[in-house]
Structures are given as structure tokens and as C-alpha cells.
A and B are shown apart, each in its own frame.
Chain A
Amino acid sequence: MTVQLPIVIILGPLLGAVLAAFTGWFRPRLSHPLVVIGLAISFAAALKLVFIVADAGAQKYWLGGWGPKQGHGVVGIQITVDYLNTLLLAAVSGIALLTSVYTRRLVDTELAGRQRYFYALFSLLVTGLLGITITGDIFNLYVFMEIAALSSYALIAYGRGRAYMAAFNYLIMGTMGACLYLLGVGFIFAKSGTLNIDDVSAIIPALRQSQALFVGFVLILLGAWAKMAFFPFHGWLPNAYAHAPTASAAILAPLATKVAVYTMLRIMFTVYSIDYIIHSPGIQSLALYLSSLAIVIASFFSLTQTNLKKLASYFVLSEIGYMVGGAWLANKPGLTGAMVHVVADAAMTSALFMAIGCIVYRLGQAQLDDLKGVFFKMPVTMAAFVVTMAALIGVPPTCGFFSKWYLIQGAAQAGVWHFIAALLLSSLVKAIILFRIIEIGYNRVPHPAIEGNPAIPRNEAPLSMLIPTVAMSLGLIALGLATNTLVNTIIANAVPTALTQ
């Protein structure tokens, strides 16, 4: 039975999406529970696989039983759960499950009458993201990438108004990224004659001198960078996430970019090998400078924002710099940091957008000036918000501290001081923004505890939103405390052996 678990991860949300779209015609109320059930099955399978992988190593599964046969090459599509992706699978499906519960009230108010389309797209997006993460075939990855991308264009365009233009710009940039990726796959296929990741990685070392493979590598890298909104391809992201409906942003912001970062890690370290990165120092130093620039520029712009959703989008941009930089440090702590941060940042961004969603649900908008007295109105939400911001700043014992610690260690070992400076600057900027929000939320109204001042009625978000938000922010602390175990049992095994010696 456990042999079939990898495919169950994708099937859950895929069936959920199809059923939600169809049952919506005659029983609109059914679509939300169907999607939640699909995601719950997927999360259970992913969680079980984390333990299996930690015990027994990588699990491989051939779709339809089309495995390699005697005397024939590989024909089928393989899906793989190994040390590199198992944690991300659990994180993606878990966050999607919590978010699907969380978004019900938001969708009822923001997208009344169109809930079933939203949930079908939501579930399809998660299918695409899980597919990208789990697949062991580089062309299959492209197909899942487009499934995820097409549903996210539609999810963003639900925002109406400026959202259409934001979604259109995202579509142009996203298609360009996917096409560059596909072109790179063409180069790999032309040289190696196979699309299976295991086969390609076995063939590539023999073709080290091939110019075509190098071009393929660069094209795939550019494609992944465009998809993850890495500097200088970042222009589409802040508008897309700020103008999207809050419910769409809550699922897109934490997951879409992180999965693109995973794609880059997979291509860099599994399809190509660590040798490729070490032997292309030009690209390495370029990527590191771009990462630092991405962090610094995103931090700078986040200081000038007046809208909470846009502010959070710039945080997403700066976190992408962390992960790309960590991966390109190409040493053990740097890569460990990048892999921990992919999971940690998915959780942190999710908690951040959930808290913002609660605020938007009650206050109607998310301008910083509207936050006056919000700490008295919504104390629980704001407590979760402060914990999340502390994680983003990197305060122990939250998960943000540990990943950042690994990244700084890696940068020091590689002697890349500008990256350390950028990391510290980014923490500083986030701390400034947190204190600015505390200042607005507490001090701009007369304190209600002092006699004579008007009382501020509590107006907390509904429980169906509040519980996931609080659970997620407590999860950040739990994840931080578990970091050591996760690194020792799983992530350390994902680091290429060339780096551990």
C-alpha cells in the first residue's frame, strides 16, 4: 500500500479540483469540503512519506507500471520522493490544507457566487505545485509548471480592477520563464536522449565539455529565475500579489515562488552536478551579487510601502534572494540553509499573509494608516503577526533564525561578505517595519486602559480564520525547535556527497 503513496499526493488535490468544479453545478456548498478532503489525503500521504524517506531513503514510483524493462530504455514517467523534496511536499500540502480551511470566510465575502471556481483553481494550483516538486522527469516538470501557472493567472485575475493588468504582466513573464525552461530541456534532451532526471544525471558527467549542455543549464536557470521573480525579473510580483484577492495571495505567496526555487535546486544539484556550479565561477559570482542586490533592493522598497499586502510582497522578494544566494554559495552550510529556508519561508510567508488576511477581513483594507488601534481590536491576530515578523527578522527560537544562521555560516565559509551584509540589512529593515507597525497600532490612539479614554471594542477575526493563523505562527516556533532534527535526519542527506567530504 505504501508503494502507491507518492501518486496519492498528487491525486488528492487533482480529484478534489475536478469534483469541486462539477459538483459546484448542482451542489455549490460541496466544493469547499471536497477540496479540503482532497488536500487532507494529500497531506497525510506526504507526512507518512517523510517518515518513510527518513528511514529508508528515496522512494521511486513508475506511473502506470511503465518502469525500465530488460533490453529497453526508460519509457514511462517516474515520480520520486527523496531527501531533497520530501519536506517541501509535506510543507506545500500542509500549508495548502490550512489555507483552504482559512480562506472559506474570505472567499464568501470577496468572491461571493464564484466560490466553486475559486476552489477548483485553488486545488489545481496545489496539484501543479506538488507535481513540480515530486516529478522525476524534466518535461513532466514543465507541464506541472504550466498547470500551476495557468491556475495562478486566473486566481490573481479574480481581484478585478488593477488585478487584470497585474495578471497579464505575470502571464507574459511566466510564459517567458516556462519557455526558456522548455528550451533548456530541449538542449538536455538533444545531448542526452532522455528526460528522466536519474538518467540525465548519470549521463551528464561524461559530457562535461559539451557547450550545448551548458547553454541548456543557463536557459533553465533563467527560466527558473523568471518564475521565482528573482532580481531583475521581479517586476510582476508585487503588483500581482497586492492586487490579487487576499484569499489567492494567501496560497500563492507562500508556495509559488518557493516551488520555483526548488526547481532551481533540483536542476543545479541533481540533474547537473555540483561540479558544474564550482566550474562556472562566472555565473556563481553573478548569482551571488544578484541575490545580494535582490535582498537590498526589495528591503529598500519595502520601507517605502504604505500598503500591508504590497509590503509583504516585497518581503517575499527579499526572501528569494536568501534562497538563491544560499544555493549558489555551493558549500554545505549554505545549501543546508537554502533548503531549510525553502520550507521555513513557505511557513513564514503563509503565516504572514494569513494574519494580513484577518486584518483585511475586519478592517476592509490594509493601508498602514488604517492599523491605528489594531492591537486593541485584534489582539490574537496581532500576536500571531508579531511572532511571524519575529521569525522573518530571525529571532530565535523561530525557524527564521536557524535558516539564516546556516546561510550566514555558509557565506562566511565562502568569504562572500556582501551576502552577509545584505542578510543583516534585510533583518534590520524588517525590524524597523515591525516597530513602525507596533507604533501605529498602539500609540496613534488614546490608550484604552487609561481612565477617561474611550474603550476600543474587540473585533477579532472569525475562528475559522483565527485558528489556522495562530496554528501557523505556533508552527513557526515548532519548526524552529525541530530544525536540528530535520537537518540531521533528512536535509543533511540531500546535500551532495562532494560537499560533505
Chain B
Amino acid sequence: MEKLIANFNYVIVVILMMIGLWAMLAQKNLIKKCIGMAIFQTGIILFFISIGAKNEAKVPILSKSVVENSSAIIVNDYGNPLTQILMLTAIVVGVATLGVGLALAQKIYQQHSSFDEDEILENQRK
């Protein structure tokens, strides 16, 4: 239990991803599927940020005075910048995917006047 509380951010990651996955696979509404996709990606972003975070860590930017004055830079004092940069890329990718998804959903709505998967399939069979 203590372990769970200490790692509550990972618990939230799992919950977010499960919500997202369920919405993508089980929901019939196309917009809800898109929302599920966004939630799923948010879960992954939180996961990456969590693995890069450290207790009481500073922003990983070294000022000139720090570099000149201290003999050694202690890595544990600074957060891991790589995960944040990776997630910047992943956010961009996520936005682009969401945009394409919504554009497709809009096109489908223009054709069938519905976002409901079952109704659309019914329409296509006619």
C-alpha cells in the first residue's frame, strides 16, 4: 500500500491509459474515440515525465556561475531533460494525429449525419 502511495503518479498513468484504451475500443461514438486517443497519449506523456523526475531536483539548465564555481556537477540535483524533450515531440505527434482524426470524423459526419459507428455501418450497407 505504501508503495502505491509513493508511486501514485504511476497509478494515475495506468488509470488514464485504461480509460483511453476503453474509449478507443469500446465506444461507438467517433468523437469519443478521438477523446480516448488523446487521454491514452496523455497517460504516456505522464509516464515519461514521471521516469525523468527526481525528488527536489532543479531545472537542468546550468548557469555560467555554477559551471565555473563548483568543482563537480551532481547529476542527481537535476531533473532528466531527455524525457521532457521526447514528450515535446510526442505531444506534437499527438496533436497532429488528433487533428487528422477529427478531420476524418467531420468528413464522415458530412456523409452520414452521424458520429455513431453502428449507424454509419448501417448507412454504408444500403
Q: Take A143-B89, A189-B51 as given contacts and tell me if A165 and B124 are in contact as well, using a CB distance cutoff of 8 Å.
A: yes
Contacts of A179 in B (CB 8 A): 40-41, 44
Closest chain A residue, CB of each to CB of B109: A164
Q: State how many angstroms separate the Cβ of B5 from the closest Cβ of chain A.
A: 20
CB of B48 closer than 8 Å to a CB of A: yes
Q: Take A176-B40, A182-B90 as given contacts and tell me if A157 and B97 are in contact as well, using a CB distance cutoff of 8 Å.
A: no
Residue pair A168, B104 in contact (C-beta under 8 Å): yes
CB interface residues, A 104-158, toward B, < 8 Å: 139, 142-143, 146, 149-150, 153-154, 157
Residue pair A143, B93 in contact (C-beta under 8 Å): yes
Q: State how many angstroms separate the Cβ of B28 from the closest Cβ of chain A.
A: 12
CB of B100 closer than 8 Å to a CB of A: yes
Interface size on A, residues (CB 8 A): 26
Contacts of B82 in A (CB 8 A): 189, 195
Q: Take A146-B93, A176-B40 as given contacts and tell me if A157 and B48 are in contact as well, using a CB distance cutoff of 8 Å.
A: no
Instruction: Report whether over half of chain B's contact residues are helix, strand or loop; otherwise say mixed.
Output: helix
CB of A383 closer than 8 Å to a CB of B: no
On B, residues with C-beta under 8 Å from A are: 17, 21, 24, 30, 33, 37, 40-41, 44, 47-48, 51, 82-83, 86, 89-90, 93, 96-97, 100-101, 104-105, 107-108, 111, 120-121, 124
On A, residues with C-beta under 8 Å from B are: 139, 142-143, 146, 149-150, 153-154, 157, 161-162, 164-165, 167-168, 171-172, 175-176, 179, 182-183, 186, 189-190, 195
Residue pair B107, A182 in contact (C-beta under 8 Å): no
Contacts of A190 in B (CB 8 A): 51
Q: Take A179-B41, A186-B47, A186-B51 as given contacts and tell me if A171 and B124 are in contact as well, using a CB distance cutoff of 8 Å.
A: no
Q: Take A139-B86, A165-B120, A186-B47 as given contacts and tell me if A176 and B21 are in contact as well, using a CB distance cutoff of 8 Å.
A: yes
Residue pair B104, A162 in contact (C-beta under 8 Å): no
**Complex alpha-carbon distance, A150 and B101, angstroms:** 10
Q: Take A164-B111, A179-B44, A186-B44 as given contacts and tell me if A157 and B104 are in contact as well, using a CB distance cutoff of 8 Å.
A: yes
Most-contacted residue by chain B among A157, A162, A165 (CB, 10 A):
A165
Residue pair B100, A153 in contact (C-beta under 8 Å): yes
